[in-house]
Amino acid sequence: MPISSQEVQHIAKLARVGLSEEDVAKFQQQLSSILDYFETLRRLDTEGIPPTSHTLALTNVTRDDAPRPPFHKEAVFANAPQREGDHFRVKAVLE
Amino acid sequence: MDSLYNLTLHEVADLLARREVSSLELTRHTLERLRAVEDKVRAFITITDELALQQAQEADARIDAGEGGPLTGIPSAIKDVICTRGVRTTCGSRMLENFVPPYDATVIERLTKAGLVIVGKTNMDEFAMGSSTENSAFFPTHNPWDLERVPGGSSGGSAAAVAAGQAFYALGSDTGGSIRQPAALCGIVGLKPTYGRVSRYGLVAFASSLDQIGPMTRDVRDCALVLSAIAGYDPSDATSAPMDVPDYSQALLPDLAGPGGRRLRVGVPREYFVEGMDDGVRKAIETAVRQLEDMGAEVDWEVTLPSTPYALAVYYIIAPSEASANLARYDGVKYGFSYQEGKSMWENMEKTRQLGFGDEVKRRIMLGTYALSAGYYDAYYLKAQKVRTLIRREFDAAFEKYDVLVTPVSPTPAFKLGEKVADPLAMYLSDVCTIPVNIAGLPGISIPCGFADDLPVGLQILGKPFDEATVLRVAYAYEQATDWHKRRPPL
């Protein structure tokens, strides 16, 4: 069940990963053969089997809603690619 | 002072305790060894000389004050996927090439309390995605046993560093075999703990339901010592198990009795002896299992775990799906590589990810995005999770009858650099023996058990959840009855 180049471009858009035309072709071919391989799972009967998301039987792990010291502001901004005052600067989100 | 770097962690700890050597001397010696072979091995992305020497001095002060422990002052290497405050942490990626974490991972905090000395951050496949360390954005690491071959991956740098004597122990991470497979290919010990045994806080996330940090060491005693130091409940990790940690060193006994003193029951699942497995590897594994029999274990050679062949597909759906979510944060806004020449915010973000990530990472992000997308979620992700239940149930049933399961780690010994890079699927097949263990969340160790064409072969021992004690015990007893762990690469 090969994947089309439109589908590759659609996925790339969802994942916000830019792809060149060569990349689209290359990934189309590689993803197709990997997805083919996944067809083997169809052979297994999983009717009535619950999914496992997690191998530990933990649910609703919570802690007290008590404030704790946050990261120091300078530590948070230390790796900032574009900083303006106490903000991370990006290009306009809405025009 | 000659070949201190060939000693084990616990041997060196004895020397430190008796003050026959100081941590400062030991660390200088280790750094010399590190640099002497690093041109050939290329295990390190960042070497932290100054920090190591400073930590060594602090360690000496503690030892002098009688406050040293088994790990105090002993040089270690940390896989570059684990956050170290103030020390660059790249995950083997251009995306984080200049990223300096503002915090320590919990395992680093714990080791620091134990007297940590870090000589450097080790090379790895980018974002832990790979089985050879060839996916590092920077350079490949070379196997100390044969420099034209891969050390395995994704913790290839850590494995090579320990094998080459550049550190006395290392931390790695394992999502589909990334501690055990490089340990096997480099002839050292590597343990993936039960999921939830060791905190993932500060471990840069790849697949949140599969990832675990674990020790990579020269021998099993060293492994037990490091595991005891890093394991345990962490309130900062909601997936960490609220369970006590036994003193794993106490589990190390030279005989092979099972729990309660009865004979140890060992199961050997047939499905792990895959078609195309190297003959030398098969022979080494079979010889090792017969050794266990000679030592008194009751071995069942005909165990079958029928869902084993499906584990690879399950993994390559679940892991990339989780990765696509975990790697969504790399957008060039708060940290990391950031492309700025685009006309819009989205263009900047897309280009950041196009240029910051390597091919394997992109491939997996796209696989995962596809598997989770509308119209495909049921067929892929949900189906994979159901098969995951089947796989875990099969292991649970097996552990009703056996104390441990024993398998190969890798179907082949170390392959040549460049041999498998063209075919992603062929590379994925290197992990057939290790992946099911992550899917089921079980503990698994790789220990040296021989050689095939002069290249190391590893034996995998799997245990019940949170039964690292039995896994370590069996590993230790086998190790002490052989001398594979005493071999050193001709480097």
Query: Phi/psi at A83 (nearest 5 deg)?
Result: -115, 140
Sign of the torsion angle spanned by Cα atoms B115, B120, B121, B122: negative
Q: Beta strands B298-303 and B265-269: pairing type? A: parallel
Q: Do A27 and B314 touch (CB under 8 A)?
A: no
> Do residues B107 and B186 share a domain?
yes
Residues of B in contact with A41 (CB under 8 A): 310, 313-314, 317, 383-384, 387
- Flag whether B390 is in a domain: no
Phi and psi at residue B397, to the nearest 5°:
-65, -40
Domain boundary among B220, B254, B288: B254
B401 pLDDT band, cuts 50/70/90, is very high
Classify residue B459: in a domain, yes or no.
Answer: no
Contact A41 B338 (CB under 8 A): no
CA distances from B4 to B10, B68, B423 (A): 12, 20, 41
The pLDDT value given to residue B374: 81
* Mean pLDDT within B403-416: 97
Q: Give the integer Cα–Cα distance in Å for B47 and B90.
A: 13
How much is the pLDDT for B276?
Answer: 85
Domain of residue B342, residue span: 309-383
CA B470 to CA B406: how far, in whole Å?
12
Distance CA A35, CA A39 (A): 7
> Does residue A59 belong to the interface with chain B, where contact is any CB pair within 8 Å?
no
Residues B181 and B317 in one domain: no
Distance CA B121, CA B45 (A): 6
Residue-wise pLDDT for B426-445, tens only, equals: 777 779 999 999 999 999 99
User: If you average pLDDT over residues B103-132, what whole number do you get?
Assistant: 98
Q: Do B366 and A15 touch (CB under 8 A)?
A: yes
Same domain for B137 and B240? Answer: yes
ipTM of the modeled complex = 0.95
Residue B353: inside a domain, yes or no? yes
CA distance B13 to B184: 25
Confidence class for position A57, pLDDT limits 50, 70, 90: confident
Asked if pLDDT for residue B17 goes beyond 90, the answer is: yes
pLDDT digits (tens, 9 = 90+) for B301-336: 999 999 999 999 999 999 999 999 999 999 999 999
**What is the per-residue burial (b if ≥16 Cβ within 10 Å, else e) of B231-269?**
bbebeebebbbeeebbebeebbeeebbbeeeeebbbbbb
- Whether B93 is covered by a domain: the verdict is yes
Contact B97, B117 (CB under 8 A): no
How much is the average pLDDT of B210-214?
A: 98
Tokens found for residue B300: 């069942």
B314 and B201 within one domain: no
For residue B46, give the nearest of B91, B107, B9 by alpha carbon.
B91
Contacts of A21 (CB under 8 A, 6+ apart): none
The domain boundary, picked from B344, B365, B383, lies at B383
B127-143 mean pLDDT: 98
Are B83 and B209 within one domain?
yes
Q: State the nearest Cα–Cα gap between A55 and chain B, in angstroms.
A: 6
> What is the rounded distance in angstroms from the CA atom of residue B380 to the CA atom of residue B307?
17
Question: Tell me, what amino acid is at A38?
Answer: F
Contacts of A32 (CB under 8 A, 6+ apart): A1, A2, A3
Mean pLDDT of chain A: 91
* Reported confidence tier of residue A35, pLDDT bands at 50, 70, 90: confident
Considering the domain architecture, whether residues B241 and B347 belong to the same structural domain is answered as: no
Q: Which of B310, B366, B382 sits opposite A11 (nearest CB)?
A: B366
- For residue A93, the model assigns a pLDDT of 81
Q: Which of B417, B399, B481 is nearest to B448 (CA)?
A: B481
Residue B417 belongs to some domain of the structure: no
The pTM of the full predicted model, rounded to 2 decimals, is 0.97
Write out pLDDT tens, residues B260-295. 888 999 999 999 998 889 999 999 999 999 999 999
In angstroms, the separation between the Cα of residue B38 and the nearest Cα of chain A is: 29
Residue B266 lies in a domain: no
The confidence score (pLDDT) of residue B24 equals: 98
Domain match, B250 and B349 both: no
Q: How many angstroms separate the CA atoms of B13 and B108, rounded?
A: 19
Share of chain B above pLDDT 90, in %: 93
Q: Using an 8 Å CB-CB cutoff, list chain A residues near B392.
A: 52, 55
Q: Assess whether pLDDT exceeds 80 at residue B488.
A: yes
Domains in chain A with CATH codes: 5-43 (1.10.20.60)
pLDDT value of residue B364 = 95
- Total tally of structural domains belonging to chain B: 2
Same domain, B344 and B204: no
Residue-level pLDDT at B461 = 98
Single-letter residue type at B176: G
Retrieve residue B151's tokens: 């050390």
Neighbouring-strand partners of residue B174: B212
Tens of pLDDT, residue by residue over A58-95, are 889 998 999 989 999 999 999 999 999 999 999 988 77
Residues of B serving a catalytic function are 79, 154, 178
The answer as to whether B372 is a domain residue is yes
Residues B191, B321, single domain; the answer is: no
pLDDT tens for residues B162-197?
999 999 999 999 999 999 999 999 999 999 999 999
Question: DSSP of B239-255, one letter per residue?
Answer: TS-------GGGG--SS
pLDDT of residue B421: 83
Q: Is residue B221 classed as helix, strand or coil in its secondary structure?
A: helix
Which stretch of DSSP H or E encloses residue B288?
Answer: helix B279-294
**Does residue B233 lie in a domain region?**
yes
Whether the Cβ atoms of residue B85 and residue A79 lie closer than 8 Å to each other: no
* B420 has a pLDDT exceeding 90: no
